[in-house]
Structure 1
Amino acid sequence: MLQLAASSILGLTVPHAPHAPPRCLAASRAASPVCVDDKSEVEEYFNNEGFNRWNRIYSEDGEVNAVQLDIRTGHGQTVDKILKWVDSDGRESLSDGTWCDAGCGVGSLAIPLAQRGATVVASDIAGAMASEAERRAADLGLSERASFSTSDLESLSGEYDTVSCIDVMIHYPPEKMAGMVGHLGGIAKERLILSFAPDTWYYRALKRFGELFPGPSKTTRAYLHTEEAVLKALSEAGFAPSRTEMTGTNFYFSRLIEAVRQ
């Protein structure tokens, strides 16, 4: 199992979920196409089986196996890189602005941002994930700094100084990715921070290899994206890259991009 952008390059389950329209696959020459709704599939998964699995992975004291521990480490490194950017910019600028964390999961990024003084509006398509994030924030006394709700990306509205969307793009097929970036750009006044699973020959090969080994945890599809396509989408949305990072562990691979409005 190989995890990329908090999703598995080998076809394992992945966290968070945006909206993607149904994709139709031909079951056979004679049969009618079978339509698969990525959004509904991921929403159902993370409100049920997936919640327990990923809640453990994203908990420091949760019991996990070696692969899940590696995924936890990789995701944590991505979050830490964003927080280092924030810290280098100075916490004064953070406390003066608003931050939207789209696809927040259990609050891995939203909560430490709130601890640093940010006003965070966070959401996730899975109510179970958003509720757990809200509980964690409340336990730390951060309810006034961080709010959590259940929403898909397309339903997000308003204006925020910074919009982040970490380990979510994996759920968007390439032909829908630009629309997702454009919508997030429409609610970001100054900055977008995105992560995605890079589409390279090496990761494509690993993904194909993993698809040979179906298992009970293979429940959602993983989409790779070229950096060129992501940068083009950002440019069309009016943003230019300012900082980038790459996180790679044994089972987790994620390209992180900060882009500022032009």
Structure 2
Amino acid sequence: MDAAPTYERTRARVEDYFDRTATRTWERLTSDAPVSGIRATVRAGRDRMRDVMLAQVPGDLRGARVLDAGCGTGAMAVALAERGADVVAIDISPALIDIAQKRCPAEVRSRITFRAGDMLMPELGDFDYALAMDSMIYYGAGDIAGCLDRLAPRLANSFVFTLAPRTPLLMAMWRVGQMFPRSDRSPTMVPHNLRGIERAMYAADVAGTLRAVERVNSGFYISSALEFRP
């Protein structure tokens, strides 16, 4: 039996999934192209969650340096740049970064640096704020606590991120997913609650506070936003 996934193993699996399997689906989902009813609920949920997360940072971000961790096709990065931020938009999928660069409006292009790689790379520097929308949903509580610990020294204010909430429905789906061999399935969302992450932070001696922001339920999209302050 495999050992528990580590951050690096899970990250590699997610990168492979998006670059080999999900790029076209993700490109369509995050565009204005018509999609099925199920995907429409996901699109609406993601739009709502983006608004929730943006509401946690100042409306005027001029002079601020902001990390968009797991930027996908770039919608959050563009919204942050429109507020005046200097944005580092990073994603582990080079294919998604290519899409984000092509979609980036000319008027904010100079304020966004797109990178393919790990959001925790020290060479990215320090930030006033960081946001990670649906990019940490595949990691266990210990890995999430480790991410917070590594990011905290480089963060002046807050890190707003999303996780899959620990609801009965998502727990049932997660248990079914665990029945399939890892080589035969895409990365599986790991459900969490606030207390579980706090316990992992305590166990890893991570300094800082965590609070629940809002849960978004939109058909097949269910996600909770949290805010970490070092």
Shorter-chain TM-score: what band?
A: 0.7 to 0.9
Q: Structure 1 residues 210, 173: CA separation in 2 closer, same or farther (over 3 Å shift)?
A: closer
CA drift of 1:38 comes to 2.6
Aligned to 2:22: 50
CA contact (8 A) 2:209 2:228 kept: yes
Structure with greater helix percent: 2
- Cα distance in 1 between the residues matched to 2:177 and 2:37: 17
Which range moved further: 152-161 or 71-80? 152-161
What SS does the corresponding residue of 2:157 show, helix, strand or coil? strand
Question: Which of these residues, 32, 39, 48, is aligned with residue 11 of structure 2?
Answer: 39
**Which of 33, 52, 76 does residue 81 from structure 1 map onto?**
52
How far apart are 1:144 and its partner, in Å? 0.9
Supply the AA of the counterpart residue of 1:251. F
1:247 corresponds to 2:216: yes
3-state SS of paired residue (2:165): coil
Q: Distance in 1 between matches of 2:87 and 2:69?
A: 10
How do 1:20-169 and structure 2 match up within 5 A? Answer: 24=2, 37-59=9-31, 61-86=32-57, 89-91=58-60, 94-137=61-104, 139-157=105-123, 158-169=125-136
Distance 2:21 2:170 in 1: 26
> In the TM superposition, what is the alpha-carbon distance from 1:85 to its structure 2 partner?
3.2
Q: 1:191 to 1:131 in 2, by over 3 A?
A: same
Once residues 175 and 211 of structure 2 are traced to their aligned partners in structure 1, the CA distance between those partners, rounded to angstroms, is 33
Q: CA deviation at 1:161?
A: 0.5
* 8 A contact 2:49–2:216 mirrored in 1: yes
Name the SS of the counterpart of 2:62 in structure 1: helix
The one-letter code of the counterpart of 1:255 is S
Shift of 1:238: 3.1
- The runs of 5 or more residues in structure 2 that have no matched partner are none
| Cross-structure match for 1:219 | 186
Q: How many Å separate the matches in 2 of 1:205 and 1:195? A: 20
Gaps of 5+ in 1: 1-22, 26-35
* Residue 206 (structure 1) shift: 3.8
Identity level (%): 29
> 1:13 maps to which residue?
none
Question: Per chain length, whose mean CA-contact separation is higher, i.e. which structure has more relative contact order (CA < 8 Å, sep 6+)?
Answer: 1
- Quick check: 1:163–1:184 contact (8 Å CA) kept in 2? no
Contact 1:191 / 1:259 at 8 angstroms: preserved in 2? yes
CA contact (8 A) 1:181 1:233 kept: no
Write out per-residue CA displacement over residues 159-190 of structure 1, whole angstroms, 9 at most, x where no aligned residue.
10011122122121233221122122232121
**1:153–1:180 CA contact under 8 A, matched in 2:** no
SS in structure 1 of the partner of residue 190 of structure 2: coil
What is the CA distance between 1:259 and its match in structure 2? 3.0
- CA distance 1:166–1:65, change in 2 (3 Å): same
Q: Deviation of residue 43 (structure 1)? A: 1.1
Counterpart contact for 1:234–1:240, Cα < 8 Å: no
Aligned to 2:171: 204
RMSD (Å) for aligned C-alpha atoms: 2.7
The answer to whether the 8 Å contact 2:53/2:131 transfers is no
Structure-2 change in CA distance of 1:213 and 1:40 (3 Å): closer
1:22-45 per-position Cα deviation (integer Å, ceiling 9, x unaligned): x927xxxxxxxxxx9432222122
